[in-house]
A and B are shown apart, each in its own frame.
Chain A
Amino acid sequence: MSEHGHAQSGVLYGMAIDLDRCTGCTACSVACQAENNISFLPDESNKVRSITWMEIYWLHNGKDYPDYRFTYLPRPCMHCNAPHHSPCTFVCPVNATRRDETNGIVSHIYPRCIGCRYCMVACPYHARKFNWWDPSWPKPMEAMLSPEVSTRMRGVVEKCTFCHHRLLAARAKAYLDGKDPNSVAYMPACGDACPTKAIAFGNLMDPNSEVAKLAKDPRAFRILERLHTEPKVYYLSKHQWVRNQADRGL
């Protein structure tokens, strides 16, 4: 049992994003889009229907020049580690979304999802997206879809999986190499693509992992910690006004 009251192994994948390094280039978002076969709409002007697993928020301190400051905040799914259940997992009426207690990844079973969108309502981070249309890609892109990731049909919810398919590949490779599949390290596509290495990923329960060290950094904070969602995505910034974006009333 973990300190959060649910069964847990020695692996708990998490992410740390250094906002002071982020240039807002959106490479993470683009890499995620390509890696996970995220479809495009013919008209992307309606941003509240656009599918993006790694959304980039633009934050500013609300002051005028010369005190004006801004930063970018990439937001994947937080894979919340809240006691017993994530906000989204326990509300799903058909068990289509669940948290794997062996690694902490919150996954979504697309062929089982009935599209009730209760999980979207439950998520305060807007990390879940609904397929309002049949998935489609511009002509040459269809040939470049990744065979590792299933595409999603119309009428179901989808979200960041921490590139779960990469974990499976890493586990398979470890097995073939005669290593322990349960202690593999891998990097999601967003982290691989980041030119400034602002994204660290790994096992939060391994005290020697970079992500575990960053999570304990004095600059680290999590979004909406006061709601007890226990997000596994940590942000880092030396600026107090950025850290104040974590919760209301702080």
Chain B
Amino acid sequence: MDKALIPDGVKRCPLPVFALWVLLLTGVIGWGIWAGGMVLLQALNLTGLNDYFGFGFYITIDLAIIALGAGAFFSGFLYYGLSRFFPAFKELGKVINLAVIVGFVCYTGALAVLLLEIGQPLRGWFGYWHPNVHSMLTEVIFCISCYAIVLTIEYVPIILENRKINEVREAHVFGHTLHELMAIFALTGTFLSFFHQGSLGGVAGVLFARPFAFRTGFFIWPWTFFLFILSAISSGPAFTALICRTIEKVSGKQLVDRSVYDLFGKIVGVLLSIYMVFKIIDTLYWALVLAPGFGFKLSDFYMGPVYGFWLLVAEILICGIIPAVVLLTPKGRSSNGILFGMFFLDCIGVSINRYVMTIQAIASPVMPFDRWEIYVPSMYEWAPGIAMLAYCALIISLSYRYLPLFPRERELNPIR
């Protein structure tokens, strides 16, 4: 029924099967919209947030998904910006469309959840009208919305490549023109995204009265500013590769050359190693110099199973050092199981980092007579978060079905 919309020369699953999948995703999204609507109507008392936990699940999932969506800007930066100097990065052209879409869904999804997070959603625009230039959150508000616009502009020419839309001459010309300009948008997006990944780190790092989160830094930027950029660019490409692999597994087709994954492995391995070096230096300085200066021991920051020391071990050793070392070795990258396993660990590591820098940073008591508090997100927080993931899956599914995402798909999967 929808054959006319499917790109030429490629095969897709039958429409009823796809419709069932879309229906399932739509149901989950509907559940999230209902929960989000209830929060907007009845206020944040429906959530598990309280006066101890001003930030919670919404912020954590936003930070994590934005970091994982960094594959878009960084792949774009390597492909459009550096490939003329380093031709090896031209390989990324085979997956750049997917990277853009992953970035688009991650950022737009995060923006939607962010709307629920504020107590006065109708005043959301005050961030632009009464901006406080000293606030890292102001930088986040500006960069995230500008970058979401840039990603939309980057997504449009991919949509215009749909077989039917492309038949309209004006759409074809417009899409082609945008394609020609894409390098400019990609590099603008890179600039914006570098800043806003960093300012998300700055949100935690500038909290000078929260010894768990506070870091010294360079000029106005705390070290977390740079660490968040590094962690995002070392996990974003891994997430894009994982999404690509998932599509391959679900569709039962090879969509990109193995060399693309190998290149991703090298990029992630190098960046994760650099990140780990700085992260370890930062952690040591924090634990041995900064926190003791405020009267804190490292053990003051960890408690019980939810906020235990295991988080630090998991983040740095299991999900950081191990994937970095494995991905640097050709043998580690040669096995699909190990390669994607390491990508997965990398993504888990950055998510743990965003969790501890958000939840644990405020759960950890500061006043000597203060106490640890436990935060349990309610269904009204889970539902929009899960719905956001379903939204990501829906847009990627629709894009894969109806748009020519993978330039090598036809050659790799000839229809007999």
Contacts and interface: CB of A to CB of B under 8 A. Distances in A.
B203 interface: yes
B245 interface: no
A120 B119 contact: no
Nearest to B123: A114
B44 A132 contact: yes
Contact of A116 (B51, B117, B131, B211): B117
Interface size class of B (residues with CB under 8 A): 35 or more
A250 B295 contact: yes
Contacts of B257: none
A180 to B, nearest CB: 32
A80 B207 CA distance: 14
Interface stretch (B10-18, B96-104, B136-144): B136-144
Contacts of B366: 124, 224, 227
A195 interface: no
Given A90-B135, A121-B210, A46 B120 contact: no
A118 interface: yes
B356 to A, nearest CB: 14
Given A93-B141, A245-B369, A123 B120 contact: no
Contacts of A128: 51
Which of B51, B120, B135, B370 has the most chain A CB within a 10 Å cutoff? B51
A155 B49 CA distance: 12
B295 A248 contact: yes
A55 to B, nearest CB: 10
Contact of B120 (A93, A113, A125): A113
A122 B138 CA distance: 15
A93 B206 contact: no
Contact of A126 (B49, B52, B134): B52
A250 B368 CA distance: 10
A228 B214 CA distance: 12
Given A95-B132, A227-B208, A130 B295 contact: no
A130 B54 contact: yes
A156 B120 CA distance: 7
A123 B209 contact: yes
Which of B126, B211, B297 has the most chain A CB within a 10 Å cutoff? B126
B296 A228 contact: no
Interface string A234-250: 00000000001111111
Nearest to B56: A117
A114 B120 contact: yes
A46 B53 CA distance: 13
B55 A49 contact: no
Contact of A90 (B134, B141, B362, B373): B134
A159 to B, nearest CB: 11
Interface of B: 43-45, 49-52, 54-55, 117-120, 123-124, 126-127, 129-132, 134-138, 140-141, 203, 206-211, 292-297, 300, 361-362, 366-370, 373
